[in-house]
Structure 1
Amino acid sequence: MSVHPAVDFPVPLDISPSGGVEGRSRRYEKFLGDMAGVYRDEAAWQTSVDERGADELIYWVDDHRYQEGPGALIVGTSTLLPGRVGDEFAVTRGHLHAIADRAELYHCLSGHGVMLLETVDGQSTAIELTPGKAVNVPGHWIHRSVNVGDEPFVTLFCYAADAGQDYELIAEAGGMKSLVVADGQGWKLVPNPDHTGYRSR
């Protein structure tokens, strides 16, 4: 007689295009004071903290995890509020998955953003996202959301539940290889002169 593992029951989720998931397993929030070392211009970040307060909300993530183990998925939304620190647009911390070969899908629900993408071996690209546009991020790609618009940038994401996140890789490299900065009425990529290269994971 075969024995089947327990099967989790399907869970309906109410996903808002303005950000948030009813039925979420958790929510975490990042505030301006949490973003030390994320922006290249540390003086501009400190000025922003002094003027706007360390408790200003920058982004939040709602996710739903229905089980652990192989085959399980995490789905949720990331909501990144608009703003700038110096010339840089508002960003998330960014990460490589702790199990580096795990992929992730991002689908823009609202707003205007850029997914900044890099690999440990030096490849770099940026994909612009507006409502209805998506990017399928392969494994081994470091990724960071950037809000280049005037409204919240909201993405729906989905990735393997065992993937994990490695946030330290970017900090150890002096930031990502490219920066997304203001360019008149738009945005552009510029090299980050502080970037020292990523160490292999």
Structure 2
Amino acid sequence: MAAFLDALMLSSPWELLAVVLAIAYLTLAIRQSLWCWPAAAIGAVIYTVLFADARLYMESLLQAFYLVMAAYGFWQWKRGAPGKNAELKVTQLNWRWHLYSIIVLSVLSLCIVWLLTHYTDAEEVYLDTFTTVFSFFATFLVTKKILETWYYWLVIDSFYVFLFWSKGFYATALLFALYTVMVVIAFWRWRQDMVRN
């Protein structure tokens, strides 16, 4: 507990605000509340600046993407199922689709790593790139209410704990440790909703 409080004391007020908004986002997303998206948007703006200052360029880019996806997610969830004017339901995709996606995203990540290594002063290039690329993908799956998004987030968030702790974003690292627990809850809740519908 003492380490937890020490880490929070080392965090900036902006980082703490972004953490609160991120917790609000995931809590509301678990409940499939439309209001998760405004919380995500505001938190993303704060993190965009913080990560750019820390030379985590891929994470900063990801946060800018989150801002766009927050608008898209809000619209998608409000609009509902295409052509049916009904609430968007939780669905699943087959394992072959996921395997293909993982292969493509891994190759893309390696290409980006090469570019960042040769043309920027980026730090933690491999971890920053792989977590970012897969986060883009997992975020898109959230906007479509694809159940397997929570598998991706479990792995991604686990790696983020290490990345953010090593870069001195202690409150954010603790947030992602909490996220790994909340992701399990999210999966369970979405699965229940899918079975009911």
TM-score, length of structure 2 as denominator length? 0.24
Structure richer in strand, relative to its length: 1
